[in-house]
Structure 1
Amino acid sequence: MTYSETIEVKIKSQDFHDITGEVENIIRKSEIDDGICNIFAIGATGAIVVNENEPMLLEDFRRTLEKISSSKKLYQHIENAHSHIRSMLIGNSQSIPVKEGRLMLGTWQNIMVINFDTRNREREVLVTVVGD
């Protein structure tokens, strides 16, 4: 069985938004007990991560990405090249096992959407659950 639903998230530039609760609700609606859940950020400057939603850690992550892909550097692409590069480095999807109707996340793991674009965006996230 397969079940899909789209989450719409209003998110600021270079910000994170925790969607763990929304994804858990979709798992419940899917009525799938065992399988896999894929979370996919639609668009070229977004990403999906699974990690701790802790403000200081997220700031460390932002600073690390700025060192790797500086927003001040001159690129061949238009003004938001760093946004695209960050999305490519981090990735726009994650797959998480589902067991007994629950996401198999660890205690400190949250599902977050990141908007790497230079402007605030409304991000679409496609959640697909496959299983029995």
Structure 2
Amino acid sequence: MWFQKEIRLKPHVRGFHLITEQVLKELPELQQVSVGLCHVFIKHTSASLTINENADPTVRKDFESYFSQAVPADEPYYQHTLEGSDDMPAHLKSSILGSSVSVPVSDGRFNLGTWQGIYLCEHRDHASSRTLVVTLQGE
């Protein structure tokens, strides 16, 4: 079985946001899969996806603090500046973290670790809504 759909996420403020439950809510087809794989891809170059800690919100704050320091805005060597001082750093952060995650599916559910969740990593100060392409394969 192969299935694909797009999920539109509401705009989020800059930071790292758990979206696992929203993806699950939009994917009732997952319940039909006994064993498979769910691939989630973000159709943007200034936001990214990753899987990490889903329990303690300070982890997400620390992610934002780290990436803001590691990839600062307003660097004099940035040439791509027409879309704002946060745009080039957003592209770099997106490339570092990546545009997709793959999650195993077992018995109609994501087979994530106890403390794992899918993050939307929003790297722009004033982002618009984001679109995910979710591809489900399995039996």
Work out whether residues 7 and 26 of structure 2, in 8 Å CA contact, stay in contact via their aligned partners in 1.
Answer: no
C-alpha distance in structure 2 between counterparts of 1:18 and 1:61, whole Å: 12
SS at match of 1:37: strand
Contact 1:50/1:110 (8 A) holds in 2? yes
Which residue among 95, 103, 126 is the counterpart of 1:119? 126
Q: 1:18, CA displacement in angstroms? A: 2.1
Q: Report the TM-score when normalising by structure 1.
A: 0.89
The whole-number CA distance in structure 1 between the counterparts of 2:7 and 2:17 is 12
102 and 94 in structure 1: CA distance in 2 versus 1, 3 angstrom threshold: same
TM superposition shift of 1:4: 1.4
Q: Distance in 2 between matches of 1:118 and 1:24?
A: 27
Q: State TM-score, norm by structure 2.
A: 0.85
Fraction of identical pairs, as percent: 30
Query: Which residue matches 1:102?
Result: 109
Q: Is 54-63 or 71-80 further displaced after alignment? A: 71-80
C-alpha spacing 1:16/1:67, structure 2 compared with 1 (3 Å): closer
1:64 is aligned to: 66
Where does structure 2 lack aligned partners over 5 or more consecutive residues?
Answer: none
Q: How does 1:37-56 map to 2 (within 5 A)?
A: 37-53=38-54, 54-56=56-58
Alpha-carbon separation, structure 2, partners of 1:25 and 1:10: 14
Q: How many residues align?
A: 132
Unmatched tracts of structure 1, length 5 or more:
none
